[in-house]
Amino acid sequence: MEEVRKESEQLLKSLPRETRSDGIPMVLYKGCWYPSVFLLGVIAAERHFQAQDSDIILASLPKSGTTWLKALIYSIVNRQRYPPNLSPLLTTHPHDLIRFLEFEHCCLTDNLDQLPKPRIFSTHSHYSSLPHSTIKHPGCRIVYVCRNPLDSLVSYWHFLRAYRKELQGDMDVTFNKYCRGCHGFGPFWDSVLGYWKASLENPEKVLFIKYEDLKEDIVSQSKRLANFLGVPFTMEEEQQGLIQEIAELCSLQNLKGLQVNQIGVRLDPGLENLINLQVNQVGVRVGLVYQLMHISGKVRLEITSITFPYHDSRFGETNGAKICRLWLSLQLLLCCIQHPLNKLLSVV
């Protein structure tokens, strides 16, 4: 491990640098902007992690449903061992049940083989930056959860404001950095497209799932997850309502109310458990002024205390809300100068 540490220190001197909108230093390694404090864990995982037959990797960008999916996947694959009323989630934070490869691999190197199977890990790394063995090992499955970039951005901003308080920049700063890809584990489109292409090329190994689909129909998406992970629900389990029980246990409202998730700190000093369990909605209440950087110039859109009513009995969203979300998301897309539309269309 000392060799990896020295390699990390040498790399830090040569890699491109940026700062996150809250001032945290980041480095660009293999096309991904990592908070520099995580580079050692990333390299350690690359060098030492060995995938096994039943391994499950949950991949995502921050504020895309990571905590929710951790709880859901853990409950689905361990439902024979732990029924919902006896779940470790009742007494243990989801991040303690499913560890981040790049965050904590250095601390777990000697113990990974002793973890109960199936081993479940999570990562914010891009597909191209995953440990080689996770991609090559045929029995290792990868689940990637994607979220609408506008919702993800707004949730990300509120998260950093809660976590970093006075150090977090305003929305203009955060938005501009996000559009340039200079955010934790960005650029957004590199992350999304890497896993999406992999899911098309190898659908039995990589599952691409959308946060919005989970919100709309948690039962069918839970069944989809279970089928992909090789532990499909039986007809008896469905009739007994087990899927609904798991969905209720893993809902962010329920997890947020548990005592274990209301106390303590995680990952970094000052990062409270509760911050990780913000209740993320499909659609956001906006009281902000967005500085939208257009390729051909600047457009300023003022949205003052408007609630987008996204839920409709037939469609899940009102037409007006759909138009707002689509327009804003397209503007965000156009802002990504490093990722013009022809690059995105080339993989469709």
Q: Which residues are catalytic?
A: 124
CA distance 227 to 163: 37
CA distance 197 to 144: 11
User: Within a 10 A sphere around the Cβ of 8, how many other Cβ atoms?
Assistant: 20
CA distance 295 to 339: 11
CB 266 within 8 A of CB 276: yes
Q: Taking the mean position of all CA atoms in its chain, how far away is CA 301?
A: 28
Altogether, the residues listed in the chain come to a count of 348
Cβ neighbours of residue 172 closer than 8 Å, sequence gap 6 or more: 289, 291
Structure tokens at 228: 């992909």
- Please name the helix (run of DSSP H) or strand (run of DSSP E) that holds residue 100, with its range, or none: strand 99-100
